[in-house]
Structure 1
Amino acid sequence: MTTPSSPRGAERTDGASVVRIGALVPLTRPGWAEAGQHLLAGMELAVGEVNDAGGIAGRPLELVVRDTAADPQKAADAVDELARLGVAALAGEYHSVVARTAATRADALGLPFLCSSAVLDALTEQPTEWVARLSPPQSRGWQVYADFFLAAGHSRIAVAAQPSVYWATGTRILRDHLTPRGGSIVELDANALTPTALCDELADSGASALLLLVGHPDPAVPIVRAVRGDERLAKIMIGAPAGQPEFTEWATSLGDDAAAIPFLRYLPEHLTALGARVDETLRERLAQAPSFVAFEGYDTVAVLADVLHSQGVDRARTAASWPRVDVEGTRGRIRFSRVPGISVWQWARTPIQVVDRDPAEPACFRVLHVG
């Protein structure tokens, strides 16, 4: 286990006139730029509120933003740069494979990292004291998702997947959870099959549901269009566990075909009083309803600001404080603990919903299942 200590680049930043947090966000392709924009909007709102309240012990809080573009190497380089710049901690990242690289590098450098949105269970190969996470581990969220499909009568499920540690891990979680309950998984190679050929395979598979474990917009959008347009597949339920339908780009790309595709999002039935206020402000800033990712961004900075207020800006003290965090966030009380099988400090009570866009009103969401 890697334990916080002052060496390994954990320099103090007390002498600086500002307190800096390094923000890792995907803002350009092939990253999910809209998710990155929501994540950053939440972080920026929280930083502004911290500064309006006097900053960190009278010193302004500042985000130093780096675009990861869903590229693990860019993320690793950004972590190195931000460590040299003297940031007190790292925050953010949406893509799981990128966050895993960032977490591993942060652990090696002795730089506290609060991961906002990435869900891979194994963010680091070995248990670490330097990394904490707000989003639920993939194993928990995707099991909730599998339970929803089983309850809806779907026991034979096809997955259209691209090569990726994230997608492969998701497929394994689904199979391991479904098989003991009488379910089964049919794997379709989304890279090798055209959308038309994928429809042919799906029609012959005996599956009643298709899960999209693929990138957006390509090949997700062409696959949805092909399945929706194939009369043989009229009764097939399409799902997208990674949350692509949450964002307006999905609805814009697919129109009426965007609806009735269940996905995972990490919101409670009711936001906290803080969450309701943040929701109103983010709607104005984004000119649309904020996604759950925006609330993750806000909560990330809220937690780090609380830690920096109480512990100062020493990196080792920040990392050592994860088990003592007790912060009211937009989606509930945030506390970190050790969860079996998870290598980082984890918010164990992250709310989980299965949601889709309402076919009668695609701009609105329906909560289908709560985990």
Structure 2
Amino acid sequence: MRSLSAALGAWIVAALALFAGGVHAQGVIKVGEINSYKAQPAFLGPYRKGMELAVAEVNASGGIQGRKLELVVRDDNGNPGDAVRAAEELLAREKVDVLMGSFLSHVGLALTDFARQKKVFFLAAEPLTDKIVWDNGNRYTFRLRASTYMQVAMLVPEAAALKKKRWAIVYPNYEYGQSAAATFKKLLKAAQPDVEFVAEQAPPLGKVDAGSVVQALADARPDAIFNVLFAADLARLVREGNTRGLFKGREVVSLLTGEPEYLDPLKGEAPVGWVVTGYPWYAIQTPEHQAFLKAYKERFNDHPRLGSVVGYAAIQSLAAGLRKAGGSDTEKLIAAFKGLEVTSPFGPIRYRPEDHQSTMGTFVGRTRLQNGMGVMSDFRYLDGARFQPSSDEVRRLRTAD
């Protein structure tokens, strides 16, 4: 009788184990996604579509060891406090496995610190501040998009080649803008020691008084302008600058302006001849991008924006890391992401073990008008790996681990 009971007990234990394993295999891996959807719709609407396309592709290919990816999305209202509260709710109530997202740099920094405190994996998809992977970097946080330093470093050789001595700078007065301006001054001064910075304008994010900013820049009589404004602030600067002749006869070097999110709304008012970073989706012929472009157009009957690429590549990165880790265990996922190689629409990228920064690059070119719309011309893709500091320098910068 005991033998029969023991055998029955063993059978029940084995059956339960098989059942549990089956449930696990049939379950989902929840991705808690936090972003400023209402505050930055131009970028984050396409970003969300890019994520949805990638999730569909991952799940159609079998998911992660039989488990499907599921996005659980929250809006942070462009506010660090709201972002942290959303992250807490996602972990406590939704039981998400990993966190991902953020757009604005100060929000990304808040989530970076949250990830460190809660010991949860966080993939910062878009926020550009260098602090996410340097000063405030931690073992739980990785970042996809090319950082402020990387993108400015891509533009500085172009700026130095202009051989302009007197520069004015305009940037949004928060972490991203401040960092971009400081890096530009440092790197351009190193490349061109005789350069002078004759004016700085730092309006609040989303609240630029374009008339006074343009007048102040014009009064300084610079030879060239470095611009960091984007979205609605960029549109106001361009329109007021065109009206007052600010850009006539002056070179302009501008971060992000070649991104369709910000260039398309300007239509025929788009600036001509600016040196920019951006995304010329209409002219990239690589196999990786052509496959992405085809899939995106078929699913959404629309062309992608840069946000689409970032959202897509972020999910593909998570999927690659989860597969390599064999699941969503935090420590195994951290180990998997160090040196992780992923194929993105821009080609192969790698997450550096030194600072958890991916090598995703960007396109640099000049703006021009074509059929009444702003486009990028004479562009080339710059691999982010060429514009990252050395391992020794990263160790000096990265102190929060």
Q: How does 1:13-32 map to 2 (within 5 A)?
A: 17-29=27-39, 32=40
Distance change (3 Å), C-alpha of 1:35 and 1:196: closer
Deviations 1:53-72 (A, max 9, x none): 12222222111111223222
Question: 1:138 and 1:357 mapped to 2: Cα distance?
Answer: 21
Q: Is the 8 A contact 2:119 2:140 kept in 1?
A: yes
Corresponding residue number in structure 2 for 1:173? 183
Question: 1:162 and 1:176 mapped to 2: Cα distance?
Answer: 18
Mean CA deviation greater in 194-203 or 54-63:
194-203
Q: Is the 8 A contact 1:76 1:105 kept in 2?
A: yes
Q: Is the 8 A contact 1:175 1:184 kept in 2?
A: no
Deviations 1:127-186 (A, max 9, x none): 422111122221121022122122133332211233212111111101111123132323
Corresponding residue number in structure 2 for 1:346? 357
Structure 1 residue 196, shift from structure 2 partner:
3.4
Distance change (3 Å), C-alpha of 1:273 and 1:370: closer
Question: 1:136 and 1:257 mapped to 2: Cα distance?
Answer: 24
Q: How does 1:1-371 map to 2 (within 5 A)?
A: 17-29=27-39, 32-84=40-92, 85-123=94-132, 125-180=135-190, 181=192, 182-191=194-203, 194-214=209-229, 216-217=231-232, 219-231=233-245, 233-241=247-255, 243-248=256-261, 250-253=263-266, 255-265=268-278, 272-310=286-324, 311-339=326-354, 344-347=355-358, 349-361=359-371, 362-368=373-379, 370-371=381-382
Mean CA deviation greater in 275-284 or 166-175:
275-284
Q: Is the 8 A contact 1:267 1:351 kept in 2?
A: no
Question: 1:19 and 1:225 mapped to 2: Cα distance?
Answer: 46
Distance change (3 Å), C-alpha of 1:299 and 1:33: same
Structure 1 residue 336, shift from structure 2 partner:
1.7
Question: 2:268 and 2:140 mapped to 1: Cα distance?
Answer: 43
SS in 2 for 1:240: strand
Distance change (3 Å), C-alpha of 1:323 and 1:224: same
Question: 1:261 and 1:334 mapped to 2: Cα distance?
Answer: 28
Structure 1 residue 356, shift from structure 2 partner:
4.2
Question: 2:198 and 2:105 mapped to 1: Cα distance?
Answer: 24
Q: Is the 8 A contact 1:178 1:184 kept in 2?
A: no
Q: Is the 8 A contact 1:327 1:334 kept in 2?
A: yes
Q: Is the 8 A contact 1:134 1:346 kept in 2?
A: yes
Question: 2:252 and 2:278 mapped to 1: Cα distance?
Answer: 16
Question: 2:262 and 2:132 mapped to 1: Cα distance?
Answer: 28
Q: Is the 8 A contact 2:351 2:357 kept in 1?
A: yes
Structure 1 residue 250, shift from structure 2 partner:
4.2
Question: 1:266 and 1:226 mapped to 2: Cα distance?
Answer: 25
TM-score (ref. length: structure 1): 0.84
Root-mean-square deviation (CA), in Å?
Answer: 2.8
Q: Is the 8 A contact 1:21 1:87 kept in 2?
A: yes
Q: Is the 8 A contact 1:190 1:214 kept in 2?
A: no
Mean CA deviation greater in 125-134 or 188-197:
188-197
Instruction: Give 2:158's aligned amino acid.
Output: F
Corresponding residue number in structure 1 for 2:15? none
Deviations 1:296-328 (A, max 9, x none): 211111121122223212122112221242222
Q: Is the 8 A contact 1:14 1:314 kept in 2?
A: no
Q: Is the 8 A contact 2:258 2:375 kept in 1?
A: no
Distance change (3 Å), C-alpha of 1:338 and 1:61: closer
Instruction: Give 1:184's aligned amino acid.
Output: E
Question: 1:187 and 1:284 mapped to 2: Cα distance?
Answer: 47
Question: 1:260 and 1:283 mapped to 2: Cα distance?
Answer: 29
Structure 1 residue 248, shift from structure 2 partner:
4.6
Question: 2:60 and 2:28 mapped to 1: Cα distance?
Answer: 14
Instruction: Give 1:82's aligned amino acid.
Output: L
Distance change (3 Å), C-alpha of 1:317 and 1:194: closer
Structure 1 residue 363, shift from structure 2 partner:
4.8
Q: Is the 8 A contact 1:90 1:114 kept in 2?
A: yes
Q: Is the 8 A contact 1:22 1:90 kept in 2?
A: yes
Instruction: Give 2:201's aligned amino acid.
Output: D
Corresponding residue number in structure 2 for 1:3? none
Structure 1 residue 284, shift from structure 2 partner:
4.0
Question: 2:292 and 2:235 mapped to 1: Cα distance?
Answer: 31
Distance change (3 Å), C-alpha of 1:83 and 1:368: same
Deviations 1:215-259 (A, max 9, x none): 531x43232222112246521234431x14423564334632344
Structure 1 residue 265, shift from structure 2 partner:
3.1
In structure 2, stretches of 5+ residues that fail to align are 1-22, 383-401
**Which structure's relative contact order is higher, taking Cα pairs within 8 Å and 6+ residues apart?**
1
Structure richer in helix, relative to its length: 2
